Amino acid sequence: MVLLVLMAGIVESAWSQENATKIHTVWDKAPHNAFPDLIRFKNHFYAAIREGNNHMPDKSGQVRLLRSKDGEDWEDVGLLDLANYDVREARLSVTPEGRIMVLTAVGVYDKGYQELFPMVSFSDKSGLNFSDLTRTTMDLSSSLDWIWSLTWHKNVGYGVIYQIKEGGWETHLLKTVDGKHFEWVSQIDTGGNPNEATIRFDRKGKMYVLVRREADDQMGMIASAEFPYKDWEFSRLNIRLGGPNFLFLNKDQLVIGSRYHQPGGPKTAIFTSDLDGNFLSPMVLPSGGDTSYPGMIFHKRHLWVMYYSSHEGKSNIYLTQIPIKQLKP
């Protein structure tokens, strides 16, 4: 295991209306609209958002599934809920069979989680009909479990489960071929109560994992490993993360989206970095208060970013487009 401590400074730049192609509200129907994800499927944008009464605790949480041809007009194509449970962040992916997989966390929260487990739904091949939520299975001792996101690579889905335990939180790499049953691969031992994590692969199949941490110094980390993804190297970032997401901009650079903690309060920001997480050009999106969890895709020479924020009052869902050329230093 190798640990690199990154001390690079961050030069902050505000992201204004003049820089963005479009910034507009996508969804504001519920008292609290949050935790979006965004993908492309059959020439449409698909989004998943959580609707609830508040951030948490809340037993009213449900996942709304939306579709749009152009990113402007959105239609409702599904609702995932479970009586007396909070259905939380849904992460979207496209399975090797050509269906949308919706991965959620379902729980009961009362001064801490009393129950927490992953559930999944799948679309038909049209993307217009979704199955009821089904609980996943895994060959790992069950605790309070959350598989926060899933990334497919060579017909295998990889996700990082975090388990909430009395002695500290743990993160483990899991894999699946059907999205329903998960097998243990290795522990990703970052320390510091790791939790939310997003996985991406470079062109040669090396895995990179962006990990949020909530204890010790609370700084985020990038973990990386070659196949079979058991021998990990770690790079400690110099920022805290919240709702971390990232994409490869090219073979040497990443685009990272996250909550950005500042003295005046949290924002949502987009960072360009090298593969070790040395940040080059943060862009602060119009945001504030309860905010972050950007869903991100590249489409037509733009980075499309869907995120939630409460800077205009209650928490709503926003979408912006950033020209890729403005991400490159």
The pLDDT of 49-66, averaged and rounded, is 90
Compute the average pLDDT of residues 55-73.
91
Long-range pairs, 151-157, Cβ under 8 A, ≥24: 151/93, 151/198, 151/199, 151/200, 151/201, 152/93, 152/94, 152/95, 152/96, 153/201, 153/205, 153/207, 154/205, 155/96, 157/93, 157/95, 157/101
Q: What mean pLDDT is predicted for residues 184-190?
A: 98
- For residue 58, is pLDDT > 90? no
Residue 321: CATH number of its domain: 2.120.10.10
- Which is it for the CA torsion 202, 205, 211, 216, positive or negative? negative
Range of the domain at 241: 2-326
Of 76, 74, 80, which is closest to residue 306 (Cα–Cα)?
A: 74
Specify the range with the lowest mean pLDDT, choosing from 12-21, 187-196, 267-276, 280-289: 12-21
What total number of domains does the chain contain? 1
| Band of pLDDT at residue 54, cut at 50, 70 and 90 | confident
Residue 16: band (very low, low, confident or very high) from pLDDT cuts 50, 70, 90 = very low
**pLDDT of 221 higher than 60:** yes
> Does 273 score more than 60 pLDDT?
yes
128-138 pLDDT, tens digit each: 999 999 999 99
Identity of residue 252: D
Which run of H or E residues covers position 186? Answer: strand 181-187
